């Protein structure tokens, strides 16, 4: 027990080994954090670099489009563009919303002065005149429209538009109402069983270019109107008939989208003016007058052509002879005769002395009043005669043609509008 007491009084022995630091070493998670941050930053940098590379690579590919050009309908060109190197849209394909593109906008315009109308034609379509000569399509009263056709066209197997114009006053229809003319033609067509197989669309009234018209469609091999007929390709043929200002228009064509589009551009123009810019001037000093005439008219002084083609001598007379007028298939002769006027005699009395008894109408020539006797029964063809007194002279202007005065009135009026009395 004493031993135990002694031990308890002994001071503790100090160890020579220094004390260990009790701070714990770093954990594994604290060591990985900087590495993770570095990896994330590295991946972001790589991602940005890759995106930049792809963008630049695509830009280089876009610039590598071939240098081809596409021609647009309006004549402009567009190139390839975009990531797929596709052609850019044509300007004409970007029509304003609600406004359709006009497929006839670039078609050529055809005008006919005889019928006073115009229409548009595609580049591959052509209009030709039919008749003696043949006449120019722009002046003819019968026109055929077809693809690349000429005078040798066979209408029995060539798709075409047949357009005929007739002045009614010279026909049996001159006093017949237009609906009745069209109805008679329709009934004549369906009665001809050799030509018409069946009626596709019955007779009906429509509006055509602002005018009342009559139309029907037949399964036929031609047109068989009451007084005229012609061959057409076998199949469905559409007929349109219009009367306007004394002229009767007959239009026949196979049902065809292109033909329908052509006729949708048909317009009446009322333009019967004649280009007189290149006309020649003729002056008769002794007769005291001058006038202008087309360069291709023949001039004869102190002579006149008879109805049988013989040239006869007629003093104080100048005769103008036209070439064959395409719209009429005949020529025109204008003779101007002068003589001293009998004192106190009027133009009306002078005409009676000449044996003219038909009804006259007033006529003014260069401001001088006179009379015109239209279609007088002299010789085998009607003649129209103008009597004018001026400057102490009596003037007789005779218009001769195988047709009527109305046929050539436009030509006569144009020439006589240039007539001037001279000192």
Residue 196 lies in a domain: yes
Confidence band for 410, pLDDT divided at 50, 70 and 90: confident
pLDDT reported for residue 97: 52
Task: Let me know: does 303 contact 312? Beta carbons within 8 Å.
Answer: yes
Which run of H or E residues covers position 215?
Answer: strand 211-224
Alpha-carbon gap, residue 242 to 230, rounded angstroms? 18
Sign of CA dihedral 60, 64, 70, 74: positive
Tens-digit pLDDT profile for residues 152-186: 889 999 999 999 999 887 788 888 999 999 999 99
Q: How many structural domains is the chain composed of?
A: 2
Structure tokens at 240: 């349109």
- Lowest model confidence (mean pLDDT) among 17-21, 80-84, 127-131, 148-152: 17-21
The answer to whether residue 230 is domain-embedded is yes
218-222 LR contacts (CB < 8 Å, sep 24+): 218/189, 218/190, 220/189, 220/195, 220/196, 221/156, 221/195, 222/195
| Domain final position from 248, 268, 288 | 268
User: In the prediction, which pLDDT does 8 show?
Assistant: 43
Where among 268, 303, 319 does a domain terminate?
Answer: 268
Give the Cα separation of 329 and 135 in Å (integer). Answer: 8
Domain shared by 132 and 221, yes or no: yes
Distance CA 370, CA 216 (A): 49
Note whether residue 367 is domain-resident: yes
134 preceded by a cis bond (ω within 30 of 0): yes
- Give 23's pLDDT tier (boundaries 50, 70, 90): very low
Highest mean pLDDT among 11-15, 20-24, 114-118: 114-118
Structure tokens at 406: 């109305």
Kindly state whether residues 230 and 293 are assigned to the same domain.
no
Are 230 and 125 part of one and the same domain? yes
Largest CA-CA distance found in the chain, in angstroms, rounded: 198
Higher pLDDT, 392 or 163: 163
Q: Is 382 helix (H, G, I), strand (E, B) or coil?
A: coil
303 & 414 share domain: yes
Q: Which two tokens stand for residue 359?
A: 């009804």
**Separation of CA 354 from chain center:** 50
Q: Would residue 99 count as lying in a domain?
A: no
Helix, strand, coil percentages for the chain (3-state, nearest 5): 20, 40, 40
Co-location of 169 and 306 in the same domain: no
Domain boundary residue, one of 207, 239, 268 = 268
d(CA 190, CA 109): 35
Instruction: Please tell me the distance from the alpha carbon of residue 105 to that of residue 100, in angstroms, as a whole number.
Output: 12
Q: Note whether residue 335 is domain-resident.
A: yes
- Residues 284 and 191 both lie in one domain: no
Q: Is 40 helix (H, G, I), strand (E, B) or coil?
A: helix
Written as six digits, the tokens of 277 are 């810019």
Domain contains 86: no
Q: What is the rounded distance in angstroms from the CA atom of residue 75 to the CA atom of residue 89?
A: 13
Identify whether residues 258 and 308 lie together within a single domain: no
Is the pLDDT assigned to residue 6 strictly greater than 80?
Answer: no
User: And the tokens for 135?
Assistant: 């006449």
Residues 116 and 240 in one domain: yes
Residue 260 shares a structural domain with residue 315: no
Residues 248 and 324 placed together within one structural domain of the fold: no
The answer to whether 53 and 68 are in contact (CB under 8 A) is no
DSSP string, 267-329: EE--------TT-EEEEETTTTEEEEE-TT-EEEEEEEE-TTS-EEEEEEEEEEE---BTTTT
Are 123 and 160 within one domain?
yes
**308 and 177, same structural domain?**
no
User: Looking at residue 86, what is its pLDDT?
Assistant: 82
List, for residues 414-423, the tens digit of each pLDDT value.
899 999 998 7
In a domain, 254, yes or no: yes
Is residue 195 predicted with pLDDT exceeding 70?
A: yes
Q: How many helices (H) and strands (E) does the chain have?
A: 6, 23
- In terms of residue numbers, what domain contains 263? 108-268
Mean pLDDT over 119-131 rounds to 93
Residue 282's pLDDT is: 96
Q: Within a domain: residue 117?
A: yes
pTM for this model (two decimals): 0.47
Domain CATH code at residue 155: 3.40.1000.10
Q: Which two tokens stand for residue 105?
A: 């906008």
Residue 258 confidence (pLDDT) above 80: yes
pLDDT digit string, tens, across residues 352-363: 777 666 677 888
Query: What are 165's two structure tokens?
Result: 């114009």
Residue 250 has pLDDT above 90, yes or no: yes
Find the angle CA(294)-CA(299)-CA(300) to the nearest 5 degrees. 165
């Amino acid at each position: 027990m004493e031993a135990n007491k002694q031990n308890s009084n002994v001071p503790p022995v100090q160890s020579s080994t220094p004390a260990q630091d009790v701070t714990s070493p770093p954990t594994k998670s604290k060591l990985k954090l900087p590495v993770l941050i570095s990896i994330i930053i590295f991946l972001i940098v790589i991602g940005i670099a890759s995106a930049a590379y792809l963008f630049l690579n695509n830009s280089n590919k876009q610039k590598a489009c071939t240098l081809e050009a596409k021609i647009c309908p309006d004549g402009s060109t567009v190139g390839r563009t975009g990531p797929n190197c596709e052609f850019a849209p044509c300007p004409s394909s970007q029509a304003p919303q609600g406004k359709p593109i006009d497929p006839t906008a670039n078609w050529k315009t055809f005008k006919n002065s005889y019928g006073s109308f115009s229409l548009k034609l595609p580049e591959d379509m052509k209009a030709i005149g039919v008749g003696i000569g043949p006449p120019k399509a722009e002046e003819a009263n019968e026109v055929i429209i077809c693809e690349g056709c000429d005078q040798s066209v066979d209408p029995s197997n060539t798709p075409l538009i047949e357009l005929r114009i007739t002045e009614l006053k010279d026909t049996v229809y001159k006093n017949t109402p237009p609906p009745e003319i069209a109805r008679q033609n329709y009934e004549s067509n369906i009665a001809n069983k050799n030509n018409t197989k069946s009626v596709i669309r019955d007779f009906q009234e429509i509006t055509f270019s602002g005018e009342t018209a009559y139309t029907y469609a037949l399964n036929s091999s031609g047109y068989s109107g009451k007084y005229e007929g012609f061959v057409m390709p076998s199949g469905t043929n559409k007929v349109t008939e219009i009367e306007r200002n004394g002229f009767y228009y007959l239009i026949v064509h196979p049902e065809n989208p292109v033909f329908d589009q052509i006729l949708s551009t048909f317009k009446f123009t009322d333009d019967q003016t004649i280009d007189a810019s290149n006309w020649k001037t003729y002056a008769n000093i002794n007769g005291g007058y001058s006038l202008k005439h087309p360069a291709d008219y023949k001039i004869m002084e102190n002579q006149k052509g008879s109805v049988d083609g013989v040239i006869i001598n007629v003093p104080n007379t100048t005769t103008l002879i036209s070439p064959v007028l395409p719209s009429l298939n005949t020529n025109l002769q204008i003779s101007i005769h002068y003589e001293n006027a009998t004192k106190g005699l009027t133009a009306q009395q002078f005409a009676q002395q000449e044996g003219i008894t038909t009804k006259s109408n007033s006529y003014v020539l260069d401001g001088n009043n006179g009379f015109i006797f239209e279609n007088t029964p002299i010789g085998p063809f009607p003649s129209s005669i103008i009597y004018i007194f001026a400057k102490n002279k009596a003037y007789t202007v005779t218009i001769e043609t195988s047709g009527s005065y109305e046929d050539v009135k436009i030509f006569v009026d144009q020439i006589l509008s240039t007539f001037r009395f001279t000192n």
